[in-house]
Amino acid sequence: MTGKRILLIIGGGIAAYKIPQLIRLIRGEGWTVSPVLTRAGAEFTTAMTISVLAGEAVHDGLFDIAKEAEIGHIRLTRDADLVVVAPATADLMAKMAQGLADDLASTLLLASDKGVLVAPAMNVRMWNHPATQRNLAVLRADGVAVIGPDEGDMACGEHGPGRMAEPEAIMAAIRARLDTGPLLLEPQAQVARGVLAGRHVIVTSGPTHEPIDPVRYIANRSSGAQGAAIAGALRDQGARVSFVTGPAAVPAPAGVDVIRIETAREMRDAVEAALPADAAVMAAAVADWRVVNAVPRKMKKDGSGRPPTLDLAENPDILAWVSGLDGRRPKLVVGFAAETDDIVAHATAKRLRKGCDWIVANDVSDGTGIMGGTENAVTLIDETGAEEWPRLGKDEVARRLARRIAEALA
């Protein structure tokens, strides 16, 4: 990969102090950096430092007539092989998600047909805010690659996810991203190669709908947010993901194979069709029962005042079935246990009963806000015991789980 040109957009965050090191790494490859500094970015690092290290003048004004005549803001994107946004502030991500173009950086991003890699950096509350998470989902769906953020102590004194990935990790992501070739073609090709490259993982997600009649069904409150985040995190680690999802409230992540189903029996069939796999993560909230006397026409009140009787039958236990497969069993089977009391005891018993390798248990009792919310407090249970994780955003739970899966399959 010789002669690559990186268009580097530097946003207004504390992490801008790490950008000189990133520029050194990029130039160390013999590549060229075209630096763009936002107005806020210039509050955190200087145009002088950046331009000296980049060996190229900093581009910072949309209406700079001299430079426009010389190079033109559109050409800046045409000449680039990859656009890297670091630090990607909450504000820059929001602009990108909305398609705003009110300064040079956002205009370049909108005018570009090149691949984009963002390295978010912000306070943990800004990162966990539903607006930022919504913007992140939009960017991912648009094919933008995301590196980080890391979890740890922040400049503001708080702790959590939001620290910009280290320059070495951003550099690795740049290399991987350039390696995947043209970025706007095939969603799966947009994914940077990661430690799960060449692995196939099945993820089930969302609720199932068990029909009563054509307009009514039995369901549950699962939004599918955790399953979608897990599928996205596994994709980010390079896995090929078969995402078998019930009717969820959140969109499926980009870059995974989406198989949409409604009922538990359809989910079981879809999982079977997706085999073989290296791992199966069964995050769906599958209905335990289905209605056996469902009718093809809408049920009407008959005037007697007596409600109809619903006859229920047990649905297939997909987790126990996958765990018990002979020959076709994925090497790692991960189940989920949504509990309201005695979480560890119930989940430990469930792991043994179902025959899966791990159980991710969470407390979904009233008041936790976990079901349908953006955060999760999980306990990971394996044959060695229970490991309680702190309350984290569902994306961060997903990233940790994906890393653990990658280690287990290594």
Ligand X SMILES: Cc1cc2nc3c(=O)[nH]c(=O)nc-3n(C[C@H](O)[C@H](O)[C@H](O)COP(=O)(O)O)c2cc1C
| Cβ 253 vs Cβ 243: under 8 Å | yes
Using CB under 6 A as the binding rule, whether residue 92 contacts ligand X is answered as yes
Q: Is 402 in the site for ligand X (CB under 6 A)?
A: no
CA dihedral sign of residues 237, 223, 121, 257: positive
Note if 356 is an active site residue.
no
Nearest residue (CB) to ligand X, 38 versus 45: 38
Beta strand pairing call for 240-245 and 200-205: parallel
Site string for ligand X, 205-234 (x = CB under 6 A): ------------------------------
User: What is the C-alpha to C-alpha distance for residues 406 and 334, in angstroms, rounded to an integer?
Assistant: 13
381 binds ligand X (CB under 6 A): no
Verify cis geometry, omega within 30 degrees of 0, for the bond prior to 207.
no
Q: Closer CB to ligand X, residue 43 or residue 179? A: 43
Map residues 38-57 to x or -, x wherever contact with ligand X holds by CB under 6 A: x-xx----------------
Nearer to ligand X among residue 92 and residue 280 (C-beta):
92
Task: With beta carbons less than 8 A apart as the criterion, state whether 346 and 323 touch.
Answer: no
Output the six-digit token pair for 166.
Answer: 């280290």
> Where does this chain touch ligand X (CB under 6 A) — which range of 90-98, 259-267, 312-320, 324-332?
90-98
Tokens of 82: 């990859």
The binder of ligand X chosen from 6, 7, 8, 14 (CB under 6 A) = 14
Structure-token pair, residue 385: 């015991």
For ligand X, the closer CB: 117 or 371: 117
Tell me the closest approach of the beta carbon of residue 132 to ligand X, in angstroms.
8
Which residue from 121, 170, 364, 370 is in contact with ligand X, where contact means CB under 6 A? 121
Q: Tokens 């994906």, residue?
A: 402
The helix/strand count (H/E) of the chain reads as: 14, 21
Considering the complex, state which of residue 12 and residue 194 has its C-beta at the smaller distance from ligand X.
Answer: 12
Q: Could you say which of 6, 19, 119, 126 contacts ligand X (CB under 6 A)?
A: 126
Helices (H), ranges, 29-129: 47-54, 65-70, 73-78, 90-98, 104-111, 124-128
**Which tokens go with 116?**
């984009």
To the nearest whole angstrom, how small is the minimum distance from the Cβ of residue 101 to ligand X? 12
Quick one: which of 90, 191, 196, 231 contacts ligand X (CB under 6 A)?
Answer: 90
Nearer to ligand X by Cβ, of 47 and 294: the residue is 47
**What are the structure tokens assigned to 311, written together?**
């006859």
Helix (H, G, I), strand (E, B) or coil at 246: coil
Q: Count CB atoms within 10 A of the CB of residue 381.
A: 26
Residue 170 has which token pair? 């951003």
In this complex, which beta carbon is closest to ligand X, that of residue 43 or of residue 79?
A: 43
133 binds ligand X per the rule CB under 6 A: no
Minimum gap (Å) between residue 43 Cβ and ligand X: 7
Euclidean distance between CA atoms 217 and 247, whole angstroms: 12
6, 7, 8, 11: residue in contact with ligand X (rule CB under 6 A): 11
* 86 sits near ligand X (criterion: CB under 6 A): no
Q: Is 12 in the site for ligand X (CB under 6 A)?
A: yes
Binding to ligand X by residue 91, rule CB under 6 A? yes
Q: Which is nearer to ligand X, 92 or 147 (CB)?
A: 92
Residues 1, 52, 155, 156: which is the catalytic one? Answer: 156
Among 122, 173, 322, 360, binds ligand X (CB under 6 A): 122
Q: Do the beta carbons of residue 144 and residue 178 sit within 8 Å?
A: no
337 forms beta bridges with 361
Helices 167-179, 19-28: axis angle to 10 degrees equals 40
- Shortest spacing between CB 111 and ligand X, in angstroms: 17
| Pairing of the two strands 210-211 and 217-218 | antiparallel
* Nearest distance from C-beta of residue 9 to ligand X, angstroms: 9
Footprint of ligand X on 21-40 (CB under 6 A): 38, 40
Amino acid code (one letter) for 128: N
CA 16 to each of CA 20, 43, 63, 106, 339: distance values in angstroms, whole numbers, following the listed order: 8, 9, 24, 17, 43
Site residues for ligand X per CB under 6 A: 11-15, 38, 40-41, 89-92, 121-122, 126
Report the catalytic residues: 156
